[in-house]
Structure formats: structure tokens, C-alpha cells
Structure 1
Amino acid sequence: MNEITERKSWWNRNRKWISLFIIILIPIVTFFSLTGDATFRYGSAHMQPGLIKNAYEMANKNEIVSQKLGQLSEYNFLRLIEGDVLYDNNGNTVYITVNLLGTKKKGKLDIYAHQNGEKWEYQKVIVRIKKPRKETIKIFEK
């Protein structure tokens, strides 16, 4: 018996893989095009957890912050994503805003730091409260 086998085209042989690739690629490209370099800024700040965590702990130990906001919940990366990160001076100065969630109220933690070699030095750490009225609590200022 002679069987004639028909060879499928490249597209027909690889259609399901190409479709899968496109389904995955489009959301990724869309995400990065909409967020710009924000993803990398947040990632950079998160890669230096001591910078945020130490300021967070300073705020949590402050008596005025405890009175106004209550006990702060633990810091996590999602709090950073809800905030903002800006680098300046060729990446040697960072301005970070992290949302704070206390047992009584919410607030924002502003961190201004400058990198000296491998180490970050705080220039200013501030807690901001909006409600019932705007209030600023200085945690650290150089």
C-alpha cells in the first residue's frame, strides 16, 4: 500500500504555540508599556529592604505615631506599590512614600535617603496623616 502523507505548513504545525506565546506576550508588553519604568523603580527599592524596613521600624517606635495611628501593621511590598518611589542624582538619592496602616488610622511614611557608597543614609523620615486634619510627624531629620 502506498500512502501519501501530506506535510502540514509551518503555521499549521506551530499554531497552538504561537497563539499561546501571543496570549502571554500581549499582557506583559501592555503592563510594561503602561507602567513605564515604575516597575523597575519599585523593584529597586524593594531589593534594598533595610532602607524601608528600618524607617518603618523607627516610625513604629515613635510615641506620637503610636498615639495617632496606633500599632502599625507589618511592612510588605504591596504597601510600597501603593506608594511612590523616585530616584535622583544618578540613582544615589531616593524619595519613597509608603502607605502606613495602623490600628487606629492610615498614614504615609516619607523617606528621603542618600546613598553613600554601599550604605543608604537617611536625610529625613516623616509620617503624614491626612484625616481629620493634615499633620506631619518628624521621625528623623539630618
Structure 2
Amino acid sequence: MDNELVVEKSWWKRNWKWFFPTLLLLLLFLLLFGSILSSSIDGTVTDIAQAYSDNSLYEKAIEKAKMNKRVLEVIGAIEPIDKLAILEGNAIYSNHNNSVELSVRIKGNKGKGKMDISAHKNGNEWVYKEINIRVKEPKEEIQMLKDTIGEK
């Protein structure tokens, strides 16, 4: 029998063939992630973040919807909008963040739908140009434009 000492290869010699492809994939992932953040999606992300932080925009619209007789018949008592609904929705700010087009899901005790809000800022208050509620069951769009013209 030989009593020779078995010398193990270093980590580098055992794993060099996996190191470079892994490094390449990591760099490609970071490049892809960076390009997504710097693309036009970035504007959408900041608009949704702004809508997320501007509670008065959608809370006042919900209050107006709660006073609409047809909304109460179809959707019922509307629950407060949760923050996840804002993140799932769509928001587009324009005119130096003084105008907004917002779409957010709403839920009531009789049904659910989407609320579309078009508003502009007058000082610190939102003035609603249009508030519509779209319902799938029964398929209907409830327009509340006449309820919101000139009101804050």
C-alpha cells in the first residue's frame, strides 16, 4: 500500500467553469433591471407612487360616489380603498402633477367595479372633471360628471 497524501484541488480549479457563466448572467440581469427602471415604465411607477400617497384624491371621489343613487343600487355601500387597489390601478399625472387620470378598483357590499377619475388641482384641492364607475355585472358605466362639475 502506498501512503501518499491526496492533495485536493483549490476551489478556483474545481469551479472556474461555473464562475464566468454565473457572473455573466448576473451582469445581464442587472443590465436588464436597470434598463427597465430607466425606461418609460419609470414614469408610471412614480405616478402610481404619487397617487398612493395622495389620499384626498380618491377619498373625496368615493364620498361623491356614495351619494349617487345608482352606485348605491349596483355596488352598494363602498368600502374604503385599500392601498393595494391603488398599486393595481393606473395613474397618469400631467401638467406638472396638477392633472391626473386615475383608475382604481372599488368594492361594495353588492358588487365591485372600477372607478375612473379625471381631476385637476386648484391650489391644494382636487377639482373633479369626471368620475365614472364601470361595472361588469351588470355591464354598466355610471357617469357622475353632472355631480362633480365645479365642485371641489
**Fold shared, TM-score > 0.5 on shorter chain:** yes
Aligned to 1:52: 58
Aligned to 2:13: none
- The partner residue of 2:42 within 6, 17, 36 is 36
Q: How far apart are residue 141 of structure 1 and its match?
A: 3.4
How well do the aligned residues superpose, as a CA RMSD in angstroms? 2.7
Distance 1:56 1:31, change over 3 A: farther
Paired residue secondary structure (2:96): coil
% identity of equivalent residues = 29
Moved over 4 A (4+): 28-31
Residues 64 and 137 in structure 1, CA contact (< 8 A), matched pair in contact too: no
Paired residue secondary structure (1:104): coil
Q: How far apart are residue 62 of structure 1 and its match?
A: 2.2
Aligned to 1:16: none
Q: Return the letter of the residue paired with 1:46.
A: Y
Farther off after superposition, 35-44 or 93-102: 35-44
Residues 113 and 121 in structure 1, CA contact (< 8 A), matched pair in contact too: yes
Paired residue secondary structure (2:78): coil
Q: How far apart are residue 29 of structure 1 and its match?
A: 4.8
Larger radius of gyration: 2
Q: After TM superposition, list the pairs within 5 Å mapping 1:61-80 onto structure 2.
A: 61-80=67-86
Aligned to 1:122: 128
TM-score by length of 2: 0.65
CA distance in 1, matches of 2:63, 2:35: 36
Paired residue secondary structure (2:91): strand
- The partner residue of 1:141 within 141, 144, 148 is 148
Residues 107 and 128 in structure 1, CA contact (< 8 A), matched pair in contact too: yes
Aligned to 1:86: 92
User: Which whole-Å deviations, capped at 9, do the CAs of 1:47-96 have from their partners, x for residues lacking one?
Assistant: 22111111112212322111101222221111112221011223221111
Aligned to 1:100: 106
Give the count of matched residue pairs.
Answer: 121
Could you tell me which runs of 5 or more consecutive residues in structure 1 were left unpaired when the two chains were aligned: 1-21
Could you tell me which runs of 5 or more consecutive residues in structure 2 were left unpaired when the two chains were aligned: 1-25
CA distance in 2, matches of 1:119, 1:72: 23
